[in-house]
């Protein structure tokens, strides 16, 4: 371990990859020092980053391997634990075949860990390997993939400071990616026009010059309506559309149906505001689109993202500084976990499973005889297959399925149905309670490896601390497991794995440990050792086979479940500034819990009046899947008829539905039908 004090590190929560220093005392994390020189956060940290010491030093950290017995958890030695995991994996493989196995990787783990994780799965003969990107931004991969050729943020966050117009749709970055606000404020100071489309009024809406409060699930209609105005008013960048895209005529044809009056009826936004937004975006010299899970977590998630790309393309707002499409990812390494092929349909570097050439490349690199040919099950499908008894052994690295997947009761039933469940994590979580074997992992500050932020910035993390007890780095656990499975893995450390990654993933071709340690990493594509990275994508050509972007028309579709007489409220879910994902880390921070301790539900005062609900009342919320309790917060942030629940507490996903986007297989967390009563 390299001794530095304070030790530079990267925040383990959201995808911005903010840097800071850990101050060490007697081998413990004792303080935080800000890092003003970091290009993304320039020293600032949000409440989660500021309280990360509470996670590192928490007494609940898992310290020893644990085996479930009839009388409870029994502490066992690593050797026994890994023998057991390997024996169960091999047992299922021999008895039921490779597709009885499934592996869920983690967007909290490093690139090297996810790469090795999916390599183990594929060498055992299954593509049933996925990660939690399936729950947040799988539709970014499918939507941007089919239009631009790659599902990644096109421009760095700092570019926003020079945008003349910023169109935000389905993102509350002021709370959830706070460092983005600084750049948007910089742009506003220079005169930028900011449009925020969101069903809720949020702190991000307060930054808006034009706030569009749409009915949840009507994003495609809004985007098509804006494009209708742009086409009919002659605001299309004809030269860009002609020279760099295909499919304009087909798009134009579909857009005819989305005149502002029709779109106003669907979205609830006055037609004059749709026209104003369209003109502001199209007429700006440089305009950027920022989006997040507000548009991705729908059955039309892929269509929502596709329509964002169409909008940017017909205006020529892509491939230059201050423009582009900026999906703000969720967890700190969502981008990297996907780049590494911890996805059921892609090998590392996005070679398609089922494409013999892509499979051949990986086979040659790995010295494998044959890799499985058909796409595996996605994270959401793995849960369904476990419920039906088709998955026998599941290995989960760093994810709490029970609280992060929709319909928690169905997830629990699926986990109970498994023959064997391994959970590898830093804390015991609700999923680990169903495990047969729990393996204690090192946290971000206790291991080395690379992480790729939402702006494609690959940064290297050095260990600052020793893991507690006998906890080990995920990579070390996987190396030992692979050995016990009889796989020939010659690596000694993360640096050597990264060397193989640079051969497997063309965009990482020039990325190496020593280069990442300097200057806050490299932004991919970085194809060779002499390349300095690519902050802006698509400057000359798109990443499609012929270099042209595809304009793909999409149509508005209603959500899978809409309110009706039995369930009259529309329930939507999202994040808050104080907690993160399923809360496995943030709900262990006393200082965050002091400010937000329990599940609450936002309800409009008019609905509350009708139902005689007062601020602070305990409510029971019921959907077709189950019921949960929450405390009432009366607020005009939500519209009448809409309820909002943060998803950081157990209970929220008891209510949500498992309807999936047909391409990305992402669940529709953002819309379900619900009813409430006083508890
Ligand atoms: Fe930065 Fe995100 Fe961490 Fe907050 S949670 S400090 S915005 S990386």
* Token pair belonging to 368: 């494998």
Looking at the CA of residue 49, tell me the nearest atom of ligand 1.
6
The number of the ligand 1 atom at minimal distance from the alpha carbon of 41 is 1
The number of the ligand 1 atom at minimal distance from the alpha carbon of 177 is 7
Question: How much distance in Å is there from the Cα of 313 to the middle of ligand 1?
Answer: 30
Residue nearest to atom 4 of ligand 1 (CA): 46
Q: What is the pLDDT of residue 137?
A: 87
Q: Which atom of ligand 1 is least distant from the CA of 178?
A: 7
What is the edge-to-edge ordering of all strands in the sheet holding 287-291?
A: 210-212, 193-197, 165-169, 287-291, 324-327
Q: How far apart are CA 255 and CA 266, in angstroms?
A: 15
Each residue's pLDDT tens digit, 470-496: 999 999 999 999 999 999 999 999 999
Q: Which atom of ligand 1 is nearest to the CA of 176?
A: 7
Ligand 1 centre distance from Cα of residue 123 (Å):
35
Q: Are residues 143 and 116 in the same domain?
A: no
Query: What are the backbone angles phi and psi of residue 459, rounded to the nearest 5°?
Result: -120, 150
Distance of CA 397 from the midpoint of ligand 1 (Å) = 22
* Ligand 1, pocket-test mutation among 9, 11, 203, most atoms within 8 A of CB: 11
What whole-number distance in Å separates Cα of residue 504 and Cα of residue 183? 34
Last residue of a domain, one of 277, 303, 327: 327
pTM: 0.95
Domain region containing 318: 138-327
How many whole angstroms from 509 Cα to the centroid of ligand 1? 28
Half-sphere exposure of 416 (CA within 13 A, CB side): 6
Q: From 12, 15, 16, give the residue whose CB has the most ligand 1 atoms within 8 Å, as the site to mutate.
A: 16
Compute the distance from residue 431 Cα to the ligand 1 centre, in Å: 25
DSSP class of 47: H
CB 469 within 8 A of CB 67: no
One domain for residues 12 and 159 = no
Domain boundary among the residues 327, 349, 371 is at: 327
Q: Hey, whose CA ends up nearest to atom 2 of ligand 1?
A: 14
48 CA → ligand 1 middle, Å: 7
Look up the CATH number of the domain holding residue 670: 2.40.40.20
Give the nearest ligand 1 atom to 47 CA: 4
Query: Any bridge partners for residue 23, and if so which?
Result: 31
User: Which CATH number is 49's domain given?
Assistant: 2.20.25.90
What pLDDT score does 519 carry? Answer: 85
Cite the DSSP H helix spans in 505-648: 513-516, 590-595, 605-610
Q: How far is the CA of 462 from the centre of ligand 1 (A)?
A: 18
CA of 291 to the centre of ligand 1 (A): 17
Residue 525, preceding bond cis, omega within 30 degrees? yes
Pocket of ligand 1, candidates 9, 36, 42, 48: which has the most ligand atoms within 8 Å of its Cβ, to mutate? 48
CA torsion angle for 623, 650, 671, 616 (degrees, to 10)?
80
Q: Is residue 530 part of a domain?
A: no
Q: Please give the distance, rounded to the nearest whole angstrom, from the Cα atom of residue 18 to the centre of ligand 1.
A: 6
Q: Are 187 and 274 in contact (CB under 8 A)?
A: no
Asked, for residue 556, whether it belongs to a domain, the answer is no
* Pocket-testing residue among 178, 455, 585, ligand 1, by greatest number of atoms within 8 A of Cβ: 178
**472/355 same-domain check:** yes
pLDDT value of residue 359: 94
Residue 258 falls within a domain, yes or no?
Answer: yes
Whole-number Å distance, alpha carbon 51 to ligand 1 midpoint, is 11
Co-location of 29 and 165 in the same domain: no
Do 202 and 245 lie in one domain? The reply is: yes
Which residues of the chain have a pLDDT value below 70? 1-3
Listed residues 309, 327, 345: the one ending a domain: 327
Is the C-alpha dihedral spanning 105, 106, 107, 113 positive or negative? Answer: negative
Tell me the CA–centroid distance for residue 41 and ligand 1, in Å.
8
d(CA 662, CA 306): 14
Instruction: Report yes or no on 265 lying in a domain.
Output: yes
Q: Is residue 529 part of a domain?
A: no
Q: Which helix (H) or strand (E) holds 9?
A: strand 7-10
- Candidates 249, 233, 166; CA nearest to 205 is 166
Does residue 534 lie within any of the structural domains? no
Q: Is 176 exposed, middle or buried (0-12, 13-18, 19+ CB in 10 A)?
A: buried
- Which atom of ligand 1 is nearest the CA belonging to 14? 2
pLDDT confidence of residue 330: 87
Query: β-pairing, 393-397 with 324-327?
Result: unpaired
Please give the distance, rounded to the nearest whole angstrom, from the Cα atom of residue 466 to the centre of ligand 1: 23
Best residue for ligand 1 mutational test, from 9, 17, 36, 45 (most atoms within 8 Å of Cβ):
45
CB atoms within 10 A of CB 388: 9
Q: Which residues contact 62 (CB under 8 A, 6 or more apart)?
A: 425, 426, 427, 428, 438, 439, 440, 441, 469, 471
107 Cα–ligand 1 center, Å:
15
Q: What is the CATH number of the domain that holds 265?
A: 3.40.228.10
323 and 176 both lie in a single domain: yes
**Quick one: 346 and 493 in the same domain?**
yes
DSSP three-state, residue 83: helix
- 146's tokens: 């089919």
* Centre of ligand 1 from the C-alpha of residue 608, in Å: 34
- CATH number of the CATH domain containing 107: 3.40.50.740
- 323-351 pLDDT, tens digit per residue, is 999 999 988 999 999 999 999 999 999 99
Whether 315 and 416 share a structural domain = no
161 shares its domain with 259: yes
Which ligand 1 atom is the nearest neighbour of the CA of 580?
5
Q: How far apart are CA 592 and CA 167, in angstroms?
A: 31
DSSP 234-271: T-S-HHHHHHHEE-HHHHHHHHTT--HHHHHHHH---H
**Rounded CA separation 648/626 (Å):** 18
Residue nearest to atom 1 of ligand 1 (CA): 18
439, two tokens: 């393996």
DSSP lists the bridge partners of residue 573 as 645
Distance 177 CA to ligand 1 centre (A): 6
**Ligand 1: which of 46, 52, 182 to mutate, most ligand atoms within 8 Å of CB?**
46
Please identify which residue in the block is written with the tokens 């993202």: 305
Q: Same domain for 420 and 513?
A: yes
As for ligand 1, residues whose beta carbon falls within 6 Å of it are: 11, 13-14, 16, 18, 41, 45-46, 48-49, 177-179
Measured CA to CA in angstroms, residue 308 lies from 318, 551, 558 at distances of: 11, 10, 18
Based on the domain organization, do 177 and 317 belong to the same domain? Answer: yes
Tokens of 396: 């989960």
Give the distance (Å) from ligand 1 centre to CA of residue 535: 20
| Cα-based torsion angle of the residue sequence 296, 297, 301, 306 in order, rounded to the nearest 10 degrees | 0
Give the ligand 1 atom nearest the CA of 40.
Answer: 1
DSSP string of 579-613, one letter each residue? --TT-TTGGG-HHHHHH--S-EEEE-HHHHHHTT-
Q: Is residue 627 part of a domain?
A: yes
The reply to whether 596 and 655 lie within a common domain is yes
Q: Number of structural domains, the chain?
A: 4
Q: Is 542 contained in some domain? A: no
pLDDT for res 580 = 85
Pocket test for ligand 1, best of 15, 36, 41 (most atoms within 8 A of CB): 41
């Amino acid at each position: 371990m390299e001794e530095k004090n304070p030790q530079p590190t990267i925040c383990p929560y959201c995808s911005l990859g903010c840097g800071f220093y850990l101050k060490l005392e007697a081998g413990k994390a004792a303080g935080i020092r800000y890092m003003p020189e970091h290009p993304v956060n320039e020293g600032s940290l949000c409440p989660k980053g500021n309280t990360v010491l509470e996670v590192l030093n928490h007494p609940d950290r898992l310290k020893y391997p644990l085996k479930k017995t009839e009388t409870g958890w029994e502490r066992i030695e690593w050797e026994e634990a890994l023998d057991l995991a390997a024996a169960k994996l091999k047992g299922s493989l021999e008895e039921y075949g490779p597709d009885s196995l499934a592996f869920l990787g983690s967007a909290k783990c490093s690139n090297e860990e996810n790469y090795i994780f999916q390599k183990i799965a594929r060498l055992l003969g299954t593509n049933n390997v996925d990660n939690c990107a399936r729950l947040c931004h799988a539709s970014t991969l499918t939507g941007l993939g089919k239009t631009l050729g790659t599902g990644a943020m096109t421009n760095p966050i700092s570019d926003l400071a020079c945008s003349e117009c910023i169109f935000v749709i389905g993102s509350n970055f002021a709370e959830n990616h706070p460092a983005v606000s600084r750049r948007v404020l910089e742009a506003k100071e220079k005169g930028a026009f900011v449009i925020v489309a969101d069903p809720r009024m949020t702190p991000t809406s307060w930054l808006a010059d034009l706030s569009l409060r749409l009915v949840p699930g009507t994003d495609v209609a809004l985007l098509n309506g804006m494009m209708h105005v742009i086409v009919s008013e002659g605001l299309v960048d004809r030269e860009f559309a002609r020279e760099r895209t295909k499919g304009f005529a087909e798009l134009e044809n579909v857009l005819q149906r989305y005149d502002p009056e029709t779109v106003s009826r669907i979205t609830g936004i006055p037609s004059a505001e749709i026209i104003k937004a369209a003109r502001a975006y199209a007429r700006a010299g440089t305009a950027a689109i920022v989006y997040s899970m507000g548009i991705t977590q729908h059955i039309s998630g892929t269509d929502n993202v596709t329509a964002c790309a169409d909008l940017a393309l017909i205006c020529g707002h892509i491939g230059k500084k201050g423009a582009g499409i900026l999906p703000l990812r969720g967890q700190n390494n969502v981008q990297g976990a996907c780049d590494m092929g911890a996805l059921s349909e892609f090998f590392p570097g996005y070679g398609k499973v089922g494409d013999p050439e892509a499979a051949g490349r990986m086979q040659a690199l790995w010295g494998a005889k044959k890799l499985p040919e058909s796409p595996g099950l996605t994270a959401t499908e793995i849960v369904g297959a476990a419920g039906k008894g088709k998955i026998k052994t599941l290995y989960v690295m760093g994810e709490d399925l029970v609280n992060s997947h929709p319909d928690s009761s169905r997830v629990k039933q699926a986990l109970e149905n498994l023959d064997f469940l391994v959970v590898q994590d830093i804390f015991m979580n609700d999923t680990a309670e169903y495990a047969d074997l729990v393996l204690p992992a090192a946290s971000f500050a206790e291991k080395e490896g690379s992480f790729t932020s939402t702006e494609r910035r690959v940064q290297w993390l050095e260990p600052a601390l020793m893991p507690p007890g006998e906890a080990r780095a995920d990579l070390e656990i996987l190396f030992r497991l692979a050995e016990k499975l009889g796989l020939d893995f010659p690596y000694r450390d993360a640096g050597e794995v990264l060397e193989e990654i640079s051969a497997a993933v063309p965009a990482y071709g020039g990325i190496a440990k020593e280069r990442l340690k300097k200057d806050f990493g490299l932004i991919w594509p970085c194809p060779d050792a002499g390349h300095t990275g690519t902050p802006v994508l698509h400057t000359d050509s798109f990443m499609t086979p012929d270099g042209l972007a595809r304009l793909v028309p999409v149509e508005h579709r209603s959500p899978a479940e809409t309110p009706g007489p039995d369930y009259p409220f529309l329930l939507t879910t999202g994040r808050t500034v104080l907690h993160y994902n399923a809360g496995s880390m943030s709900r262990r921070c006393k200082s965050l819990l002091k400010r937000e301790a329990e599940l609450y539900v936002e309800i409009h005062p008019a609905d509350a009046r009708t139902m005689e609900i007062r601020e602070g009342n305990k409510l029971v919320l019921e959907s077709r899947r189950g019921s949960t309790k929450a405390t009432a917060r009366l607020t005009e942030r939500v519209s009448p008829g809409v309820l909002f629940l943060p998803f950081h507490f157990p209970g929220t996903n008891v209510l949500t539905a498992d309807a999936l986007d047909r391409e990305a297989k992402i669940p529709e967390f953002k819309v379900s039908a619900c009813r409430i009563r006083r508890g």
